[in-house]
Amino acid sequence: MEASLRFYVNLLGFSAAEWGNSDFTSITNGQTCFYLCRGSQGRGGSWVWIGVDDVIPLYEAYKTLGVPILMPPTNFPWALEMRVVDPDGNVLRIGSEPTA
């Protein structure tokens, strides 16, 4: 939980819930909210889609912060998408509108 909170709060800019503990908590960035859990409720290896206004500034910031980037912004028919991975192996697919 400590590694996940450091990743999401310190690197990605989320805020942690005041009520959280070492087994279960929540994080938010004002638009997106995740629950982080340990044990039988939490299993790494999934992926999540996060839509943003512009993925490029996030990509540049994440590179500077040392966020593990699996794929830089790549244009697909559905989005201009980048992929990062959290400490538990979950892939965050972060994208904005595709470029022309």
Look up the CATH number of the domain holding residue 45. Answer: 3.10.180.10
With contact defined as beta carbons under 8 Å apart, do 14 and 6 qualify? no
Q: For residue 52, what pLDDT band results from cuts at 50, 70 and 90?
A: very high
- If you compute the radius of gyration of the chain from its CA atoms, what whole number of angstroms results? 14
Q: Which two tokens stand for residue 43?
A: 């299993």
List residues bridging with 27 in a β-sheet: 16, 34
Average model confidence (pLDDT) across the chain: 92
pLDDT greater than 70 at residue 47: yes
Give residue-wise pLDDT tens across range 6-34: 999 999 999 999 999 998 999 998 888 88
Residue 48 belongs to what domain range? 2-96
- Our count of domains for the chain comes to 1
Q: What is the mean pLDDT of residues 37-61?
A: 86
Task: Label residues 88-97 b or e (16+ Cβ within 10 Å = b).
Answer: bebbbbbbbe
> What pLDDT, on a 0 to 100 scale, did the predictor assign at position 42?
64
